[in-house]
Structure 1
């Protein structure tokens, strides 16, 4: 099991709010079987959202690539995430 931490930062001037439940749903919808996603932890604040992906993978690089792919797919298909960007820190 690998964990990948990610912080989403709200773009300046963007007042769009997204709930942690909606974000979790968006991420689960965009996870693929090969991503081996087991769980997503979400902590939402006014200017940022902290995520931790728990993936049933043994390689840190592969886990980071999988988490990044899940986020990028969600970002590209969800207007609620327009302009948000992510900072990754593999654990």
Structure 2
């Protein structure tokens, strides 16, 4: 499993509304395909951006950053709400790419029993 941190930058910073993060996650799921390997998504809205945590199934032939960028670009193109609120996330739109950062090595690992025990 890969874990990718990404963000959508607002066109105009402003107040967030309570359902904003859920709306973005719903849009991701509405436009995700099996080829995206999306397992889970979390979002947190801020006045200037929405942070996304994308859990992607590991594949031998795809880079998780590329998978996430492809999914976000497709969602932005397809969703009037995302186009209205957020800057395009991919360089093909003439904008700098949204930060996509795999956490640690990009793999999730379970803690060993020794690591999981509080000291």
- If the TM-score is normalised by the length of the shorter chain, which range does it land in? 0.7 to 0.9
2:23 corresponding residue in structure 1: 22
Q: Deviation digits for residues 1-43 of structure 1, max 9, x if unmatched?
A: 0011102111137889771111111101111112111100101
Runs (4 or more) in structure 1 with deviation over 4 Å come to 13-18
The answer as to 2:11 corresponding to 1:11 is yes
1:90 corresponding residue in structure 2: 102
Gaps of 5+ in 2: 90-97, 104-119
2:34 corresponding residue in structure 1: 33
Structure number with larger C-alpha Rg: 2
2:58 corresponding residue in structure 1: 57
Gaps of 5+ in 1: none
Of Structure 1 and Structure 2, the greater strand share is in: 1
Root-mean-square deviation (CA, aligned residues, Å) is 2.3
| TM-score for both structures, normalised by structure 1 | 0.82
Shift of 1:87: 2.1
Aligned length: 90
Structure with greater contact order relative to length (CA < 8 Å, sep ≥ 6): 1
- Tell me whether 16-25 or 65-74 shows the greater mean CA deviation: 16-25
